[in-house]
Structure 1
């Protein structure tokens, strides 16, 4: 199963990122979405799980949780916007976050933590990025993919 990972779009849905996420069986957005239109575009590709980021406001954002744990193909995935707010007692195989705009993946306290980076407006000299998580009988694999500005 391929899970598309995206964060920090801040109202900008790049065609190249949509093309990268096409074919995912599920998509996770880790907050700072920027508008319901972003969620609508992603939901046309695959079932979508999204959390509210610190810059998401209004009725559309109020309906989103601040954090959520879901299970996909037998793997528990915890999603929140800011990793600094992670409760260390969370029981998950993987944690997906955003906020920093810095793509990274590392194992911390026994679970994989992935920040797919920012797929929206470029911040400083940080790359434009999104990611994928593959879940299969061999475990979890991940990728962070960077994009040229559109």
Structure 2
């Protein structure tokens, strides 16, 4: 079993409570708009870290992280990108990538809107962890934690960070 901490849209701001809420996770995943290398370096020093770059990320982050990241953890196929849309309203080209990679878990960021929803047609679960940075119009900073084990996603929880 692996415990996952999921975040997105930090925009160069790392809330100090991230360390407390992600203390017991095995990996941290970031769905883009990291903001700067310093933030990525801090997270990489704290826990094993996977990330994709977002539309505000500069060349230094685009060299280090991919636009799309397909991978597998605990027999769960994952596809992570920054601009992905959501079931019924996927971003251009995303549905084709999901058909190609057939993930059980599709993760994206960008909208700053927390979403957890199934897509029965694609046989996947979609998660957008919202935003945990200070830039943007979102009123609540959010993180997501969940467990992966033997092909299953469980114990999903949303964390609201204090202002």
TM-score when normalising by structure 2: 0.85
Q: 1:122 to 1:34 in 2, by over 3 A?
A: closer
Shift of 1:39: 1.0
Partner of 2:46: 45
Partner of 2:36: 35
Q: Which runs of 4+ in 1 moved over 6 A?
A: none
What's the C-alpha RMSD, in Å, of the aligned pairs? 1.6
In structure 1, stretches of 5+ residues that fail to align are none
Shift of 1:9: 0.2
Q: Distance in 2 between matches of 1:15 and 1:143?
A: 19
Shift of 1:30: 0.4
Deviations 1:123-142 (A, max 9, x none): 32431001112112482122
TM-score when normalising by structure 1: 0.91
Q: Distance in 1 between matches of 2:33 and 2:135?
A: 13
Give the secondary-structure state (helix, strand or coil) at the position aligned to 1:33: coil
Q: Distance in 1 between matches of 2:66 and 2:132?
A: 21
Deviations 1:12-31 (A, max 9, x none): 00101222112211111000
State the number of aligned residues: 149
